[in-house]
Structure 1
Amino acid sequence: MASTDAQRAERAERGLLAGAAPDVATALAGWLGRLGHERRLSPKTREAYARDVGTFLGVLARHLGHLPDMADLARMQPRDVRAVIAARRAEGIEARTQMRFLAAARSFGRHLEREGLGKVGALTAVRGPRVPRTLPRPLGMADARALADPATRAGDAREPWILARDAAVLALLYGSGLRISEALGLMRRDMPAPGRGDQILVHGKGGKTRMVPVLASVIEAIDAYARACPYALEPTAPLFRGARGGPLSPRIVQLAVERMRGALGLPDSATPHALRHSFATHLLGRGGDLRSIQELLGHASLSTTQIYAAVDTATLMAAWKAAHPRATTT
């Protein structure tokens, strides 16, 4: 999977450079090199940056009427940036996506200034679109357990080893709070055998690694899958396999959860990533402290983790309103 991500990143970067003015392409190549070598951003993140800057430059080109070169970027005014944002808004692009491509453009602008290639102050002079604050939507404890319980899949017509695999992946997402990309990036050697360890080294965003505890029940579920898997799970090969033996695709896990949603009567918000939200929210509800949860989730900033405190408070208030005899007025 990592090689595929790297190939996609390279394609996105080549496309970005091919569609830029020659002097801008040279500056972009230097910026992309900095992202990969100095900041050690993952291939997926580099791909996203390249795609978003390409989008910004493409909309700017339509606004200016020609492909922007370095002189155009230096002459850019706040009204030009607002025109780009307005064009994206007219295309129906949501505010969060607009903020993302604007952030990528600002990153490129900071690179130009650091390298003495010019100043693009217009990018920072314009306030980005307001992004509505939304809370994560975790599952209840019973629903999260049901998604990861092999017994829930009784009667499913698919092969038993595939059912065991799906249950193992979802148990890992909920039991350790991993991102789906982190879980599917594990090698066989990363997972301890039952009784021989209770932690794994996870490779997260930006090439950062962290130690994450794994419940004994999760290790047993993964061991049951490994014993049932018809493919040889070499130590340095992906742990989770698709039906044909290749690395398991995130989309297959998403489809498995969609199938379970119907059987369990769960809302559309029940996704593999919702299990990560559930992990954090349930830990916090049971007395876990934010700093520890931040480390377990691999968040770079505590402010990112603090959103789960709001989720826990919202859940508490909903329970109070539903149960307290004086919570409603007549």
Structure 2
Amino acid sequence: MTILIVAEHDNTTLRPATLNTAAAAAAIAAFTNQPIHILIAGYNAHTAAETAAKMAGVGKVLLADAPQLAEGLAENIEATVLSIARNYTHILAPATAFGKNIAPRIAAKLDVAQVSDVSAVDGADTFARPIYAGNVIALVQSLDPVKVITVRATAFDAVAVEGGCASIEKLEAAPDARISEFVKRDVTKADRPELTSADVVVSGGRGLGSGENYAKVLEPLADKLNAAMGASRAAVDAGYVPNDYQVGQTGKIVAPQLYIAVGISGAIQHLAGMKDSKVIVAINKDPEAPIFSVADFGLVQDLFSAVPELVNEIS
């Protein structure tokens, strides 16, 4: 039996979370000594398949190439996965919007319990996952014959996209389920790195006071550091920035090399989304702010003077 990864991609490139999911698959394979296959379900997705074939640890790439798979509709990808699901002991997908849309359908159709948001692998059937906003780590054992798993990408280092030489095998796509229809996709275009995969993230909170201040204070810092920009839920709810900037339990989970929190008090829901960052810098005028409990470096100062000073010091 074998491990299957359902890849997230745009028909040309693999999404970074797929590489992290492959690391989780490799951790399972270390216990089971099973080969790893990766499914590329899309349309005109040969380039993505060729990239997947170069991934470290991948033994075979299955390419299901059909028009009904072009936009990643969950109903069609699920049917394609189900056609081969019984050949696998583990089916993994990233715990992104893509994976969270597809994996529960696969688990339900297989009549198995999904193991969600896995952050560590303790055995072939035992996995760790955060609960209570990351304050508790639950150890979950699954005895199902097929284990459907979503992987918290920030918990695993991405595998290399080089050195592999997997074969590419064509897989017949399931017919169009015709129960959903792709209408359009509104994509936020930005010159900055993607929030979930950036090495540096600069986030702002309610302490900035307005959307104008958010842009005026934080953008120069983000420009200097080539950073992605994020925000707390309070800043999003106040209308400072769009909700796709939100970092936290109900937003995006990030773990960059450097996370700079500006004017963020540090509610537990926000900490759940960023406390795995390698280095955390907090700037807040309140010395009792909870953000300082997870910060590696803290500056108790008014952000409106501290951030411009910091920008001036960065060459």
TM-score bucket of the superposed structures, by smaller chain: under 0.3
> Which protein is richer in helix relative to its size?
1
Q: Which has the larger radius of gyration?
A: 1
* TM-score between both structures, scaled by the size of structure 2: 0.23
- Give the strand-richer structure, 1 or 2: 2
* TM-score, normalised with respect to structure 1: 0.22
